Amino acid sequence: MSHTSGFGPDLAEVFGPSQRDGGPELVQLLTPEGERVHDLPPEFEQFDLDFSAEQLRGFYRDMVLTRRIDTEATALQRHGELGIWAQLLGQEAAQIGAGRALRDQDHVFPTYREHGVAWCRGLDPLRLLGLFRGVDQGSWDPEEFHFGLYTIVIGAQTLHATGYAMGMQRDGVVGTGDPDRDAAVLAHFGDGASSQGDVNEAFIFAASYNAPVVFFCQNNQWAISEPIERQTRIPLYQRALGFGFPGVRVDGNDVLATYAVTQAALQRAREGQGPTLVEAYTYRMGAHTTTDDPTRYRLSDDLEHWKLKDPIARLEVYLKRNGLAEGSFFGDLAEEADQLGATLREGCKAMPDPRALSIFDHVYAEMTEELAAQRDGFAAYAAQFDHNQFDNQFDAAHGEA
């Protein structure tokens, strides 16, 4: 397709062969072949951090275990133990790099795919499985983990994140110069969500109020079955300039670069310099969710091309080539991954079925009269079908023995 009207670039310029790997503006510190990059353009030199061997091994461990969580959850869904699962295969570096760049006081607003970020925030992955199994609506306290509940409505969390960031400004935890106090917000979304009105409204409010929020877009190039060229006529990170704040594209399969870029963006926000858009250029190796069949709409050669850019494989090569991890490290990690897998399988199957009336328990922080009436009405209706079962549940809902 060629664009000749003079409005915007030719699509070949944006999505042609030169852009297949992210284009020349991509921040990359570790190549797909496991080579460390130091010769960066002047505007990217701030991202060339020194990483300790311990830190690199930590990134590797995080990615391996996150992938195991994803693999086990997919298998559990296939065996009927989960209703659905949103896979993250291939996006481990984007999530671990962003997750490890956070400070304890920062707050995250996820989509429904941020399993790696949840891992970084200390969330038991069984809590994620509980949500996808349907035994709860999200059992963790967002304030305890500084990690919000998964958001299914596409893009809605970016508005929540911007409002929360504006609240941080009013709480006086931005730009104080105290590293233990200053905080920022990390808002996750995907390339498909970039077309949502909520996301663009969040950009406007964040820019207008200089909110301390980092918009982290995992551009995995597919919005379910819609390719990225249906979402934008320019690289996504360039959209930020139209709203009045900076944007940067990073190799989303490079955990080092993702960490460095996200850390810099978060620090900028904590210091009161406003929002940043980070586009993590990656690829969705699996399906959108376990209800999706990507072979119906994309080519196998694209998948093979991106297999060569695997985020875990490139870091493993770097560790081994530079003598930064012994064989025992990889062996011990494999055993840890197997144990994690067993724990997830056993824990998922052992989850108790939810009480039917529990759906009313967490609608509001405090029970309202209207909601209590709805609960009581439902209990009375349901009792017609199984009197003892729902009598017991009704008593429990009212705190009666």
Same structural domain for residues 278 and 371? no
Residue 395 lies in a domain: no
Does residue 323 carry a pLDDT above 90? yes
Shared-domain flag, residues 298 and 373? no
pLDDT of 319 > 90? The answer is yes
Question: Per residue in 160-208, pLDDT tens?
Answer: 999 999 999 999 999 999 999 999 999 999 999 999 999 999 999 999 9
pLDDT band at 362 (very low <50, low <70, confident <90, very high): confident
Task: Catalytic residue, from 68, 239, 288, 314: name it.
Answer: 288
* Res 4 pLDDT > 50: no
Mean pLDDT of 379-393: 69
Q: What is the pLDDT of residue 359?
A: 85
Among 20, 36, 230, 297, the active-site one is: 297
- Are 116 and 214 contained in the same domain? yes
Structure tokens at 258: 């993702």
**Alpha helices by DSSP H, 250-326:** 255-270, 300-307, 311-321
pLDDT value of residue 399: 61
Return the pLDDT at 154.
95
Instruction: Specify if 181 maps to a domain.
Output: yes
Q: How far is CA 289 from the centre of its chain?
A: 14
CA distance 252 to 263: 14
Q: What is the pLDDT of residue 355?
A: 83
At 294-313, the pLDDT tens digits run 888 888 888 899 999 999 99
Identify whether residues 112 and 153 lie together within a single domain.
Answer: yes
Give the 3-state secondary structure of residue 332: helix
Confidence band for 87, pLDDT divided at 50, 70 and 90: very high
Mean pLDDT for the chain overall: 91
pLDDT band at 316; cut points 50, 70, 90: very high
Write the CATH number for 59: 3.40.50.970
Q: How many CB atoms lie within 10 A of CB 227?
A: 14
The predicted model gives 105-128 an average pLDDT of 98
102 and 241 fall within a common domain: yes
3-class DSSP state for residue 186?
Answer: strand
Residue 10 belongs to some domain of the structure: no
Both 203 and 109 in one domain: the answer is: yes
Residues 378 and 260 in one domain: no
Quickly list H helices, 8-52.
Answer: 11-15
Residues 219 and 281 placed together within one structural domain of the fold: yes
In total, how many domains does the chain have?
A: 2
**φ, ψ for residue 66, nearest 5 deg:** -65, -40
Query: Could you tell me if 341 and 359 lie in one domain?
Result: no
pLDDT at 22: 63
Percent of the chain with pLDDT over 90: 75
Q: Are residues 325 and 246 in the same domain?
A: yes
Is 157 found in the same domain as 76? yes
Establish if 3 belongs to a structural domain: no
Alpha-carbon distances of 122 from 142, 144, 146, 322, 338, rounded to whole Å: 12, 10, 10, 30, 19
**How large is the angle between the packed helices 369-382 and 387-397, nearest 10 degrees?**
160
Residue 36 contacts residue 257 (beta carbons within 8 Å): no
The DSSP output letter for 309 is T
- Closest alpha carbon to 362 in 350, 349, 375, 347: 375
pLDDT for position 11:
44
Residue 24: pLDDT band with limits 50, 70, 90: low
| pLDDT score recorded for residue 20 | 57
Residue ranges making up the domain that contains 364: 355-388
CA 71 to mean position of chain CA atoms:
16
Assess if residue 11 is contained within a domain. Answer: no
Catalytic residue among 68, 121, 239, 284: 284
Residue 29 forms part of a structural domain: yes
Which of 119, 116, 118, 121 is CA-nearest to residue 105? 121
Arithmetic mean of pLDDT, 384-391: 61
Q: Which two tokens stand for residue 24?
A: 């020349």
- Asked if the structure places residue 12 within a domain, the reply is no
pLDDT at 21: 62
pTM of the predicted protein model: 0.89
288 is catalytic: yes
What average pLDDT score do residues 102-126 get?
98
Question: pLDDT at position 227, please?
Answer: 87
Annotation marks residue 164 as catalytic: no
Do 244 and 185 sit in the same domain of this protein?
Answer: yes
pLDDT attached to residue 95: 98
14 pLDDT exceeds 70?
A: no
Task: Return the pLDDT at 301.
Answer: 86
User: Read out DSSP for 101-158?
Assistant: T--TT-EEE--S--HHHHHHTT--HHHHHHHHHTS-S--S-HHHHTBPPP--STTHHH
Rounded Cα distance, 88 and 128, in Å: 13
Q: Which two tokens stand for residue 340?
A: 């994690």
Measured torsion, CA atoms of residues 233, 151, 71, 289, in degrees rounded to the nearest 10 = -60
Token pair recorded at residue 230: 């249906």
Would the pLDDT of 52 be above 90? Answer: yes
The answer on pLDDT for 389 being more than 70 is: no
* pLDDT (0 to 100) of residue 77: 97
Is position 297 annotated as part of the catalytic site?
Answer: yes
> Is the predicted pLDDT of residue 233 greater than 50, yes or no?
yes
Q: Does residue 6 have a pLDDT over 50?
A: no
Would you say residue 189 lies in a domain? Answer: yes
